Amino acid sequence: MPTFTAVRLFNEDGRRVSRVVTMNLDDLDPGEVVIKTRFAAVNFKDARAVSGEGNVVKRFPCIPGIEMSGVVASSALARFRAGDRVTVQGGPDFGIRRDGAYAEYVRVPAAWVHPVTVEFDEFTTMALGIGAYTSSVAIERMMALGVTPQSGPIAVTGATGGCGSFAVDILAGLGFEVVAITGKASEAGYLRSIGAARVIGRADIVSGPKPLEEQRWAGCIDTVGGAPLDAILRSLKKGGVVCAFGNAAGETFTTSIYPFILRGAMLIGINANHPVDQRGSAWSRLATDMKPRHLDRIIQTIPFAQLKPYCDQLIKGGARGRTVVQFQ
Ligand SMILES: NC(=O)c1ccc[n+]([C@@H]2O[C@H](COP(=O)([O-])OP(=O)(O)OC[C@H]3O[C@@H](n4cnc5c(N)ncnc54)[C@H](OP(=O)(O)O)[C@@H]3O)[C@@H](O)[C@H]2O)c1
């Protein structure tokens, strides 16, 4: 039985500590399908888990990482055969309550495994992954509520992040005027290069105590929550829609009733952790009208050996775009 390398999270006297360890298959949680990992991704919650921050991982020890792609090594069910190219993305427990993606081999229930679609290879599947999927679901929802490119500018908060970058790119491709809101003034050039018409500093949208401000935004894809979400709500145009799914700026926020009762503001929560068999239509759109046009600028690739230091950098807000982890 081969041994392999994994990043595993331990709870040591109440402190969460990740370590690079050597394991074998019997050490992993049970499952019908064993997959040799080729790529994984680093989402905000993955970086928090690896760095021992927050409460992402619920069981110890546990391998973090909520999405991966690779090649089936063995399967107890005929549905999958050795050599099949597959992906595991999200699901309620992967990398949370059961061993996840940051290992050279992954073992999971067959229900969590999805073939890599014909439009994408294993790398592109991870490059897009939960980041592009979540942003496309949020944009689709905003448009279904009546926001069109003619409605006015769309704000994207946390614009340099993985989800934020995809939101900027996809919205611009659909013909929207995108205003990128960021804490990194130095990344204005990057944000324009992926489709932002304008770039505004995070501090510049958080305004005074008035419950309503000048009407600026027809909609917003909010990846950060907290004070920026409150500022966006106060500056929404009549009938504007905010689709919110992130918490980097805070898990709570204060607002007033006035954007809702005087301007008809709509605040929509997005939970993109859909069952695998319900994700097809969003993935089809990511291959067609919502296809990101600047993958080469948004994606960076790091070797598995760099994962831990990279996660520490990401949670300090020091990353840009989306990161794919490459295994041997
Ligand atoms: N609900 C769902 O289904 C779902 C799915 C996927 C992701 N998410 C959530 O969406 C969020 C974004 O995920 P991600 O993977 O794109 O994360 P990410 O790549 O780490 O990006 C987060 C971005 O937020 C901004 N930011 C960081 N710290 C901040 C702070 N203190 N205040 C304000 N902004 C801050 C930064 O962008 P700037 O410097 O440009 O401002 C950063 O690049 C996370 O909260 C994640 O958990 C939710």
pLDDT digits (tens, 9 = 90+) for 235-283: 999 999 999 999 999 999 999 999 999 999 999 999 998 887 788 899 9
CA–CA dist 113, 292 (Å, integer): 24
- Note the CATH number of domain 130-269: 3.40.50.720
Could you give the count of Cα atoms lying within 13 Å of 235 in the half-sphere of its Cβ?
20
The answer to whether 80 touches 72, Cβ cutoff 8 Å, is yes
Q: For ligand 1, atom 37, name the residue with the nearest CA.
A: 158
Name every protein residue with a CB atom under 6 angstroms from any ligand 1 atom. 43-45, 130-131, 134, 158-164, 182-184, 202, 223-224, 245-249, 270-273, 314, 317
The answer to whether 220 touches 242, Cβ cutoff 8 Å, is yes
| Range list for CATH 3.90.180.10 in the chain | 3-116+295-326
> What 8-state DSSP symbol labels residue 224?
S
Q: For ligand 1, atom 33, name the residue with the nearest CA.
A: 249
What are 76-115's pLDDT values in tens digits? 999 999 999 999 998 789 999 999 999 999 999 999 999 9
Q: For ligand 1, atom 25, name the residue with the nearest CA.
A: 158
C-alpha 203 – ligand 1 centre gap (Å): 16
β-bridge mates for residue 33, sequence order: 75, 108
| Range list for CATH 3.40.50.720 in the chain | 130-269
3-116+295-326: in CATH 3.90.180.10: yes
15-24 vs 3-12, strand pairing mode: antiparallel
pLDDT at position 279: 86
The answer to whether 36 touches 5, Cβ cutoff 8 Å, is no
Percentage above 70 pLDDT, the chain: 99
CA 311 to chain CA centroid, nearest Å: 14
Q: How confident is the model at residue 206 (pLDDT cuts 50, 70, 90)?
A: confident
Q: For ligand 1, atom 8, name the residue with the nearest CA.
A: 246
Q: What is the pTM of this model?
A: 0.96
Best probe residue, ligand 1, of 43, 51, 53 (max atoms within 8 Å of C-beta): 43
CA–CA dist 301, 325 (Å, integer): 6
The answer to whether 172 touches 153, Cβ cutoff 8 Å, is no
Best probe residue, ligand 1, of 50, 170, 245 (max atoms within 8 Å of C-beta): 245
pLDDT at position 1: 67
pLDDT at position 91: 75
> What 8-state DSSP symbol labels residue 254?
-
Q: What are phi and psi of 277, to 5 degrees?
A: -75, 0
Q: For ligand 1, atom 34, name the residue with the nearest CA.
A: 249
DSSP SS3 for 248: coil
